[in-house]
Structure 1
Amino acid sequence: MAATCSWKLDKETGQDALIVKFSNGHVKKAEELDFQLYKHSDDDNPRKKTRRIVVAESDRLPYAGSNFGAGSLQCNNLCRYFVGVLDKETMQMKVHTAQLFNMLPVIPGESAQNEDTKQPETHREKVDALIEAFGTTKQKRALSSRRLNEVGNETLQQAVALAATNVINQKGVEALRNEVVETEAQTDTALFLPPCNTEADKAEDVYPFDQLLSPNEFDALKDVGAKMAALTPEDLQKMRAENCPQTVLRHLELLPKEDTARDRQSRCIWYLSFLLKVSSQKRLTFKFGIEDGCPKIINNKVLRNFTVESFHNGSLRNTLSTSMRMKLAAHCLALLLHMGDQKANLTILHRDIRISDVRMLEVAKAMGLTLSRQSAHSREEVGTQEEHRMASLVLPLVHYDRRIERRKRKRMN
């Protein structure tokens, strides 16, 4: 029967066992190597007090290894190693914590050369030096060509940096930001449309509801949706006096009586009102929506999908650019299609989301919606009629040709 042994952690010495690995081969006579251990003199600095250097000297070459710097093994930071020493008399194994050192040969003269320069030579620089000394004509020609390309790239980068500095000094940061916003507004609207399934057989599957609100996000709107469903006519009158978005008020007045449909519609109405509130902001913070009881998953979704991150004085900002407002309009329009039997009022939506009527039509055309006109009561003058733009999703989707405006030529006198 084989003998058994027990092991225990050795806490008496308080020092780690050292495991060395030679990078250039195996050591045949390890007992002839003279090992020395050096530790950092600054014991108070928590980053330097654990630094160790192991030096091994032989008849041919000295070796050195450290647990910090570029030559150290990264596994020391990711794993913890132990070494067990078995006492055959007591059959007990003492376990010591260990560190691994990668022993590299120290070539005489190389370290002195590196001390003269601030940074040690890289592998590429060493190979280039060998090519210059012992390379063939073809290798030297290739080396010269590569160095010329590097000089050309560096010169180009310096020229670009100088040109950018001059433009910033001449126009200023604010003017450049305005140009960026205008450029974003001219970008193709299709890049900011919600996910679309062009091969869908049903109209409600073209812009899937799950892509607008995931099941987890829809479940998070349960409490705030219940508050929307419980609003009284007096509450609606108060909201109307506070200039609540007309799109939200119209859907609140037409809430269905059936419980399941009412619950689903009220959640969508609250989410729509939150998106419209976001569209009126220029800059959003992580605390935005807390007063309204906005779920954290919804707030993170809006910050991630409808804002642009930028740094200002060391802090992170979430701004709502013109392009993001267009994306927000497309998202609201797709949500309204699900809320209104695949029909939506573009005139009221563009007023609530504060974009022009032309841009609202561009979004609707990019989504492939069918456009029409409908008479409605004016909100400014009681008893008068006004014409509203309506959009409906009808299969197949409509493909609109983009008109390219041509400048008129000036007549030569």
Structure 2
Amino acid sequence: MDANCTLVCCEEEREDDKAVIVQFSNGNLRNTEQLDFSFYKNVDETNPRKKNRRMLVAESQRLSYVGSNFGTEALKCNNLCKYYVGVLNKETMRMEVHSAQLFNMQPVIPGESSTENDTSQNTDLTYREKVDSLIEAFGTNKQKRALSSRRLNQVGSEALQSAVAKAAHSIIDQKGLKALQQEVVQSQSGVSHYLPPCYHDADTPQHVYLFDDILSPVEYDALDAAGSKMAALTPEELQNITDGGCQSVVRHLESLPREGVARERQARCAFYLLMMLKLARQRHINRKFGQEEGCPRIIHTKLMRTFTVETFNNGRVQNVVSTSMRVKMAAYCLALLLHMGDMTSDLTLLHRDLGVTEKRIVEVAKSMGLTLVRHGCVKGNDGATAENRLATLVLPLVKYQPFIEIRKRKKMH
């Protein structure tokens, strides 16, 4: 078989001896006699980029097909591989092997032009993409390396954005969308959004923050049994409450009036304050919260609806105290302490009981228009004594100017 075949090398082969292999994009050709093929080459043979451009045209009675070895529609396999085809010479009965090129024949519809498509594609590209294509074709090695590095960085940034989006979705699933929205609102509007209703035109300090807005009459009546229990606590039980981090409650229980409506009112308010302080220290609220202390159902529902947000964890709905809800709880505790202490409250004890910073509780007091003073000494958990801070409601309410930090400009040497 090898003796009957003649191999024609590519270097010795003429351009006219190259074979052509065609494929049609819209089907297979059954009868080759129905098509007339024409082969064209570029007339600019001096240009090294254009002298090898070829175009094959096939015409039939219905459609015309065009294929080329250049442009966006050309097959990339011609540049990656070399193809050979065997041609049988019937006169010599020898098989001659010639190099071949592949053409993808596409139908040409009248009224459409490939140049118009190219121009429309070019107009869709941005200026940056056009410059990148020029760098790929004619750029130096340094420019091509810079282009490759920039594209790798772009891929890295897209991967980072997808990772951030995935992390954001996981946080939303864990904390809940409502909790995140409230924290965003709290960061944008400050603490004024979470203050109890304030009546600036009130005649007396007791009517600035109404007691009924903190505890409604129905809720107040529901605390009858719990208040009686708080009034009958022993010194050992009071010490347990102190160890639990509720010094504000213990201080008011130690100074209860002897008898009458004032004693009953102070005891009921102390129980409600105790429930709020315990709620502020809970991360995930259990359904049995407040049952050991004998918390009425109506008070439990009020605490859950007013000072917690619902989140989703492992397919279950849970109530948590978010950062914004902790600020709201501090404002309502402060308003309740004002009614319990003749319009005066100890901020130092309150910020320790709530587990918030002193700066935050002072910000809440300033937002409520209270007058701040320093008086006496208070003993901390570590045994050290420090000057405590008191908040007093005095008419008219104080309007504090927001502090704006002014940075000094650095001198240029």
Whether TM exceeds 0.5 here: the answer is yes
User: What's 1:198 paired with?
Assistant: 200
User: What's 2:37 paired with?
Assistant: none
Please say if residues 245 and 352 of structure 2, whose CA atoms lie closer than 8 Å, have aligned partners that are also in contact: no
Q: Which amino acid aligns with 1:196?
A: C
User: What's 2:366 paired with?
Assistant: 365
Please say if residues 368 and 400 of structure 1, whose CA atoms lie closer than 8 Å, have aligned partners that are also in contact: yes
Distance change >3 Å, CA 164–CA 195, structure 1 → 2: farther
User: What's 1:402 paired with?
Assistant: 402
Q: Which amino acid aligns with 2:213?
A: Q
Unaligned runs of 5+ in 1: 1-161
Find the aligned partners of 2:180 and 2:309 in 1 and give their Cα distance: 16
Q: Which amino acid aligns with 1:394?
A: V
Say yes or no: does 1:389 pair with 2:389: yes
1:10-42 alpha-carbon deviations (Å, 9 max, x no partner): xxxxxxxxxxxxxxxxxxxxxxxxxxxxxxxxx
User: What's 1:169 paired with?
Assistant: 166
1:106-153 alpha-carbon deviations (Å, 9 max, x no partner): xxxxxxxxxxxxxxxxxxxxxxxxxxxxxxxxxxxxxxxxxxxxxxxx
* Selected match of 1:227 from 219, 226, 229: 229
Find the aligned partners of 1:189 and 1:377 in 2 and give their Cα distance: 27
- After TM superposition, give the deviation of residue 370 of structure 1 in Å: 0.4
Distance change >3 Å, CA 412–CA 319, structure 1 → 2: farther
User: What's 1:318 paired with?
Assistant: 319
User: What's 1:281 paired with?
Assistant: 282
- After TM superposition, give the deviation of residue 222 of structure 1 in Å: 0.5
Find the aligned partners of 1:164 and 1:381 in 2 and give their Cα distance: 46
- After TM superposition, give the deviation of residue 398 of structure 1 in Å: 0.4
Find the aligned partners of 2:406 and 2:284 in 1 and give their Cα distance: 37
SS at the partner of 1:309? strand
* Selected match of 1:207 from 206, 209, 213: 209
What are the within-5 Å matches in structure 2 for residues 6-405 of structure 1?
Answer: 167-169=164-166, 173-174=170-171, 183=184, 186-187=187-188, 188-240=190-242, 242-380=243-381, 385-405=385-405
Q: Which amino acid aligns with 2:357?
A: S
Distance change >3 Å, CA 230–CA 186, structure 1 → 2: same
Please say if residues 370 and 394 of structure 1, whose CA atoms lie closer than 8 Å, have aligned partners that are also in contact: yes
- After TM superposition, give the deviation of residue 224 of structure 1 in Å: 0.7
Please say if residues 184 and 322 of structure 1, whose CA atoms lie closer than 8 Å, have aligned partners that are also in contact: no
Please say if residues 345 and 389 of structure 1, whose CA atoms lie closer than 8 Å, have aligned partners that are also in contact: yes
Q: Could you list the structure 1 runs, at least 4 aligned residues long, displaced by more than 6 angstroms after superposition.
A: 175-182
- Identity over aligned residues, as a percent? 48
SS at the partner of 1:186? helix
Find the aligned partners of 1:164 and 1:300 in 2 and give their Cα distance: 41
Find the aligned partners of 1:244 and 1:358 in 2 and give their Cα distance: 19
Task: Tell me how large the CA RMSD over aligned residues is.
Answer: 2.8
- After TM superposition, give the deviation of residue 404 of structure 1 in Å: 2.5
Please say if residues 375 and 385 of structure 1, whose CA atoms lie closer than 8 Å, have aligned partners that are also in contact: no
What TM-score do you get using the length of structure 1 for normalisation?
0.55
Find the aligned partners of 1:165 and 1:298 in 2 and give their Cα distance: 44
User: What's 1:81 paired with?
Assistant: none
Distance change >3 Å, CA 411–CA 245, structure 1 → 2: same
1:273-332 alpha-carbon deviations (Å, 9 max, x no partner): 100000001122433212221111111111111111223333212111101000000000
SS at the partner of 1:355? coil
Find the aligned partners of 1:337 and 1:358 in 2 and give their Cα distance: 19
Unaligned runs of 5+ in 2: 1-158
- After TM superposition, give the deviation of residue 346 of structure 1 in Å: 0.3
Find the aligned partners of 1:339 and 1:269 in 2 and give their Cα distance: 8
SS at the partner of 1:405? coil
Please say if residues 183 and 322 of structure 2, whose CA atoms lie closer than 8 Å, have aligned partners that are also in contact: no
SS at the partner of 1:261? helix
Find the aligned partners of 1:321 and 1:296 in 2 and give their Cα distance: 22
